[in-house]
Amino acid sequence: MADPSKIIENEIEYSIGNFTGFEMIYDFDKILIYLDVKGKSLFGVDFKIHKGDEEVILKLCNYIVKDVKSCQKHDIDTEKNILLSGPVGCGKTSIFKLIQCIVPRQRAIEIIPCRNIVFGFNHLGYKIIEDYENGGNICFDDLGIEPYGSHYGRDCNVMGEILISRYELFLKSSFKTHATTNLDSKELEERYGNRVISRMREMFNLVSFNSETLDKRK
């Protein structure tokens, strides 16, 4: 059986904890070292993990490795999904891509820009919405800033409809529906309405970057 505490990156072995033979005990300090290396590999040599982001990364790591006790300390339910919020450029999408790397044996989470989904709806219509009822682990990226959809003159709040469909999937399956957003709860409610927001509250854990987090793309 392969040791899940060891990850090879560019022919170098990194430890992210200790595997006892039947239990994996993660070490967050070691995880940060590996994530910094992996981040540079994925996003370029200028990538670095900022001290102010470590609390968010810790919560996400605890969630993705299913550390129930640690998640409970941060009021995170491992049965729910993640809504990762924060200001523009704070690194939400990059961090979501990165944390998956510490659990390479888990089913991958596909990260899909919401605007691309709407463009697909404009071209193909309601088939796009139906496609997302069928499963898959997905993170909807930049939720709330996508345009409204229109197919042959019929307007549609595409992501609102998809979120309702994914809520039904959440109730009856183990497939995950995550999202990143720049908007706060009030802005999301204005965008999607109370019906969708009530379902989002039930299916998502909210994990937020500090509102003062710098735009790392500048």
Q: What is the pLDDT of residues 5-55, one digit of tens each?
A: 999 988 999 999 999 988 899 999 999 999 999 999 999 999 999 999 999
pLDDT in tens, 91-132: 999 999 999 999 988 889 999 999 999 999 999 999 999 999
For residues 151 and 123, membership in a common domain is answered with yes
pTM metric for this prediction? 0.93
For residues 17 and 114, membership in a common domain is answered with no
Residue 181: strand, helix, or coil? strand
Q: Per this entry, what is the length of the chain?
A: 218
Average pLDDT value over all residues in the chain: 93
Pairwise CA distance, residues 200 & 189, whole Å: 10
For residues 42 and 110, membership in a common domain is answered with no
Inside any domain, residue 61: no
Inside any domain, residue 76: yes
Pairwise CA distance, residues 205 & 126, whole Å: 28
For residues 97 and 15, membership in a common domain is answered with no
Number of domains in the chain: 2
Looking at residue 3, what is its pLDDT? 86
For residues 37 and 78, membership in a common domain is answered with no
Inside any domain, residue 90: yes
For residues 98 and 203, membership in a common domain is answered with yes
For residues 81 and 1, membership in a common domain is answered with no
94 alpha-carbon distance from chain centroid: 10
What's the CA angle centered on 183, arms 81 and 166, to 5 degrees? 35
Inside any domain, residue 42: yes
**Domain, as residue range, for 44:** 1-49
For residues 153 and 187, membership in a common domain is answered with yes
Q: Are 146 and 118 in contact (CB under 8 A)?
A: yes
Looking at residue 133, what is its pLDDT? 84
Q: Are 122 and 149 in contact (CB under 8 A)?
A: yes
For residues 29 and 82, membership in a common domain is answered with no
Sign of CA pseudo-dihedral 5, 9, 13, 15: negative
